[in-house]
Structure 1
Amino acid sequence: MREAVRHPGWTIAATMLASSLAFIDGSVTNVALPAIGHDLQARGEALPWVINAYLLPLSALLLIGGAAGDHFGRRRVLTWGILLFAAASVACALAADLHVLLAGRVLQGIGAALLMPNSLGILGSSFEGEARGRAVGTWAAAGAIASAIGPPLGGWMVDAIGWRVIFYINIPVAAAAILIARAYVAESASEEGRLDWLGALLATGALGALTWALTLWSAHHQASPASWTGLSAGIALLILFVVTEHRLGERAMMPLSLFGSRPFVGLTLLTFLLYGALGGLIVMLPYLLIVGGGYSPAQAGLALLPFSIVIGTASRLAGRLTERIGPRWPLTIGPIVTAIGFALLLRADPHGSYWTAILPGMAVIALGMAGTVAPLTTAVLSSVDDRHTGTASGFNSAIARTGGLIATALGGAVLSRTGVALVDAFHVAAIVGSALALASGIAAFATLES
Structure 2
Amino acid sequence: MLPEVWAMGSAAERIANLLGRLLGEELPFRLRAWDGSETGPPGPGVLVVRNRDALRRMLFRPGELGLARAWVAGDLDAEGDLYELLHRLSGLLWEREAQPSKRAALQAVPGLLALAGPQLPPPPPPEEIRRRTGRRHTLRRDREAISHHYDVGNRFYELVLGPSMVYSCAYWGGEARTLEQAQAAKLDLICRKLDLREGQRLLDVGCGWGSMVLHAAREYGVRAVGITLSQEQAACARKRVAEAGLADRIEIRVQDYRRTSDGPFDAISSIGMAEHVGDDRYREYAARLLALLRPGGRLLNHQIARRPDPDDEPYELNAFIDAYVFPDGELAPVGRTVALLEQAGFEVRDLESLREHYALTLREWVRNLEENWPQAVSLTTEGRARVWRLYMAASAVAFERAQIGINQVLAVRATGDGGSGLPLRTRAWLQEAGPDPSE
TM-score range, shorter chain: under 0.3
Structure richer in strand, relative to its length? 2
- Would you tell me which structure has more helix in proportion to its own residues? 1
TM-score by length of 2: 0.24
The TM-score normalised by the length of structure 1 is 0.23
Higher gyration radius (CA): 2
